[in-house]
Structure formats: C-alpha cells, structure tokens
Amino acid sequence: MSWHQTDLRLTPRHRGFHLVTPEIERALADMPACRVGLLHLFLQHTSASLSINENADPDVPRDLEMAFRTIAPESLPYVHTCEGPDDMPAHVKCSMIGASLTVPVTNGRLRLGTWQGIYLCEHRAHGGSRRLVLTLHGEP
C-alpha cells in the first residue's frame, strides 16, 4: 500500500454548483497510478463544499442552488455578519453538504457512476480560488 498527496487550486467561481470532475481527474493522472485504492478529497474552506451528484442535466445544479438558497436564505437574522450577508448562509450550507469526499479508484481512474460528477458547491457570491487536498491510498 502506498500514500500520495497533492494540492489542487480551483479557479474562482460564482455562487452555484460547478462540475470539477475533469480538474480532479487531471490531478489524479499526475499522481502515481493505483491498481485499486481510494482518493480522498478535502476542501480547505468553510463557505464552500463538495458533492457527488448528477452530471448530465444542467437543470440539476440550478435546482440544487435554488433549493439551498431556500433552505439557508440570506434573510435570516444571523449574528455572524461581519463578512457580508452571504457568509453565514455559506457556513450553514457547508455544514449540511460537507467539505470532503472519498471516491474509489481502479487502474488510476475514478470509479464514479455513469451519471455522477464531483461538484464544487460555491456558497459565496464570489468565493475566490478554492484549495483541495487530494490524498490517494492504494495498491500500485
């Protein structure tokens, strides 16, 4: 068994659900190949999150964004407001969705289902660049 780790910086994105599977696949391709293993993804932020969801229909990310804006709206009487009205709702959404994922890897490739993709869920209006730590553990 071996361990490998790398960092991936994602380009800034606006609020919404953004498919980042291709960027993760490129970073994985630069790591030593595993015959069988696990890729752990950890997002080093508290106002964005990671999700695996449907990657084929563009209505899915739009509907997810609409649903989460409804669940954690900016209009609630939050106490933590020093970073703007979108900050505390972003923390709520991150707590609900999570900041990490683990995906199986076979022969150096992600083992996502046919209709699955990895999304960066950007919860701030303008979130800035986001950092991911990719940790691969498996058999060479």
Question: Which pTM was predicted?
Answer: 0.96
DSSP the chain: -EEEEEEEEEPP-EEEEEE-HHHHHHHHHTSPP-SEEEEEEEE--SSEEEEEEE-S-THHHHHHHHHHHHHS-TTS--S--TT-TTHHHHHHHHHHH-SEEEEEEETTEE---TTEEEEEEEEEEE---EEEEEEEEEE-
Taking only the tens of pLDDT, the chain with its 140 residues reads 999 999 999 999 999 999 999 999 999 999 999 999 999 999 999 999 999 999 999 999 999 999 999 999 999 999 999 999 999 999 999 999 999 999 999 999 999 999 999 999 999 999 999 999 999 999 99
- For 2-139, CATH gives 2.60.120.460
- Domain range annotation of the chain: 2-139
